[in-house]
Amino acid sequence: MMTKRIGWLAAASVALLAAVAVLIGGHAVHAAPAAALQALVLNDDATTQWAMHSTKGRTNSHQRVHYHGHSLVRLTPARAADLPALHQLLLDLNIDVWSALRGQVDVRAADAHVLKQALDRYLPGVRARTLVADVEKQLLEPHWHAIDERVAVKSVAAQLHDPKSWFAEYHHLDEIYEWYQLLAAAHKDRITLMRNVGTTHEGRELMALRFTNHSSTNVTLPKKQVYVQGGIHAREWIAHATTQYIAYHLATSDDQTITSLLDEVEIVLVPIVNPDGYAYSWTGDRLWRKNRRADARGVFGVDLNRNYPSHWGEAGASKFRFSDTYMGPSPGSEPEVQALMALFDSLPRVVAALDLHAFSQAILHPPSWTLTDTVHEPQLKAMGDAMSQIIKSVHGKDYVSERLVDLYPHSATGTDWWYDQSRPLDNLAGKRGVDAMNMSARKTVFRPYSFTIELRPSQEDTWQTGGSGFILDKREIIPVGEEILPAFLYYARTALDNVLIE
Ligand SMILES: *[C@@H]1O[C@H](CO)[C@@H](O)[C@H](O)[C@H]1NC(C)=O
Ligand SMILES: *[C@@H]1O[C@H](CO)[C@@H](O)[C@H](O)[C@H]1NC(C)=O
Ligand SMILES: *[C@@H]1O[C@H](CO)[C@@H](O)[C@H](O)[C@H]1NC(C)=O
Ligand SMILES: [Zn+2]
pLDDT digits (tens, 9 = 90+) for 98-132: 999 989 999 999 999 999 999 999 999 999 999 99
Cis upstream peptide for 359 (omega within 30°): yes
pLDDT of residue 442: 62
CB of 442 closer than 6 A to ligand 3? no
Q: Ligand 4 centroid vs 357 CA: distance in angstroms?
A: 4
Angle formed by the axes of helices 477-497 and 377-395, nearest 10°? 150
Each residue's pLDDT tens digit, 217-232: 778 778 999 999 999 9
Nearest CA to ligand 1 atom 6: 216
pLDDT of residue 462: 77
CB of 218 closer than 6 A to ligand 3? no
pLDDT of residue 154: 86
State the chain's maximal CA–CA distance in angstroms.
Answer: 73
Segments making up each domain of the chain, as ranges: 2-146, 156-501
Q: Ligand 3 centroid vs 501 CA: distance in angstroms?
A: 13
Atom of ligand 3 nearest to the CA of 438: 1
CB of 441 closer than 6 A to ligand 3? yes
Long-range CB pairs of 102-106 (<8 Å, 24+ gap) are 102/400, 102/459, 103/76, 103/77, 104/74, 104/75, 104/76, 104/459, 105/74, 105/75, 105/76, 105/408, 106/72, 106/73, 106/74, 106/75, 106/131, 106/459, 106/469
* C-beta separation of 115 from 97 below 8 A: no
Q: Is 272 helix (H, G, I), strand (E, B) or coil?
A: coil
Each residue's pLDDT tens digit, 425-451: 888 875 444 545 555 556 689 999 999
Nearest CA to ligand 1 atom 2: 216
pLDDT of residue 433: 45
Nearest CA to ligand 1 atom 7: 216
* C-beta separation of 91 from 408 below 8 A: no
pLDDT of residue 74: 95
Q: Which residues line ligand 1 (CB under 6 A)?
A: 189-190, 213, 215-217, 259, 262-263
Each residue's pLDDT tens digit, 288-322: 999 999 988 888 999 999 999 999 999 999 999 98
pLDDT of residue 61: 60
Q: Relative to the alpha carbon of 436, which ligand is closest?
A: 3
pLDDT of residue 327: 97
Q: How far apart are alpha carbons 322 and 338 in whole angstroms?
A: 22
* C-beta separation of 477 from 167 below 8 A: yes
Active site residue 136: no
* C-beta separation of 105 from 70 below 8 A: no
Instruction: Write down the catalytic residue from 202, 454, 476, 482.
Output: 454
For the entire predicted model, the pTM comes to 0.87
* C-beta separation of 408 from 88 below 8 A: no
pLDDT of residue 373: 98
Q: Relative to the alpha carbon of 234, which ligand is closest?
A: 4
CB of 256 closer than 6 A to ligand 3? no
Q: Ligand 3 centroid vs 381 CA: distance in angstroms?
A: 23
Choosing among 3.10.20.30, 3.40.390.10, 3.40.630.10, 1.10.230.10, the CATH entry for 156-501 is: 3.40.630.10
Atom of ligand 1 nearest to the CA of 259: 14
Residue 136 CA, chain-centre distance (Å), reads: 23
Counted residue by residue, the chain has a size of: 502
Q: Is 40 helix (H, G, I), strand (E, B) or coil?
A: helix
Nearest CA to ligand 1 atom 4: 216
Each residue's pLDDT tens digit, 468-480: 899 999 999 999 9
Residues of the chain with pLDDT under 50: 1-59, 431-433, 435
Fold of 2-146: Alpha-Beta Plaits (3.30.70)
Nearest CA to ligand 1 atom 5: 216
Q: Relative to the alpha carbon of 501, which ligand is closest?
A: 3
Closest CA to 263 of 223, 320, 210, 229: 223
CB-based neighbours (< 5 A) of ligand 4, an ion: 233, 357
Residue 448 CA, chain-centre distance (Å), reads: 19
pLDDT of residue 8: 34
Residue 394 CA, chain-centre distance (Å), reads: 23
pLDDT of residue 11: 38
Atom of ligand 1 nearest to the CA of 217: 5
